[in-house]
Amino acid sequence: MFSEGDAVPDFTAILQDGSPFHLQEALEESGIILYFYPKDNTPGCTTQACDFRDAKDTFDGAGWRVIGVSRDSEASHQRFINAQGLNFDLIVDDDNSLHELYGAWGEKTNYGKTYMGAIRSTFVISQDGTLQWIGRNVRAKGHVSRVLKELDLE
């Protein structure tokens, strides 16, 4: 489990269009806001994604690139992007490796039922590869405003 100030390991993943994403290469251009969410096209995940979409210009202007991560397929990510007009990339984590690496997978309880699932979390990674801010087990609504405040962008 990472803490603020920790260096994050490099990783390579696949984006919604099948192209590779290399963390170290991306950090050469900007800081990364890596957010983990449970499922494409569900109410909470749509709210969160649309909030990131609407704040993209602010993040971009301050040198931050937003990237979402879920276990959904490339095709599901493409449908989500098209349906919501998302203006940022989504990583396919179908083998759960990134969720586990970042501690964004674990036991959850809903309506008294316990199960394993994605833990809605955000990791703000500075260009030097260290964690500037971590939000674990966050709520979808209002989360992007909190990230903006944490980065002194609001």
Residue 154 has pLDDT above 90, yes or no: no
pLDDT digits (tens, 9 = 90+) for 75-117: 999 999 999 999 999 999 999 999 999 999 999 888 899 999 9
The β-bridge partners of 115 are 108
Q: Sorting pLDDT into bands at 50, 70 and 90, what band is 53?
A: very high
Q: Are 137 and 120 in contact (CB under 8 A)?
A: yes
pTM: 0.96
User: How large is the average pLDDT for residues 63-73?
Assistant: 98
pLDDT at position 146, please? Answer: 96
User: How large is the average pLDDT for residues 48-74?
Assistant: 98
pLDDT at position 12, please? Answer: 97
pLDDT digits (tens, 9 = 90+) for 118-143: 999 999 999 999 999 999 999 999 99
Q: Which uninterrupted H or E stretch holds 23?
A: helix 23-27
What is the architecture, at CATH level 2, of domain 12-150?
A: 3-Layer(aba) Sandwich (3.40)
Please state, in angstroms and rounded to a whole number, the distance separating the CA atoms of residues 9 and 132: 14
Q: Which uninterrupted H or E stretch holds 97?
A: helix 97-101
Instruction: Cite the active site residues.
Output: 45
Residue 22 has pLDDT above 90, yes or no: yes
User: How large is the average pLDDT for residues 17-27?
Assistant: 98
- DSSP notation for 44-57: HHHHHHHHHHHTHH
Q: Write out the two tokens for 87.
A: 């203006």
What's 73-91 look like in SS3? CHHHHHHHHHHHCCCCEEE
DSSP at 146: H
**Domain-by-domain residue ranges, the chain?**
12-150
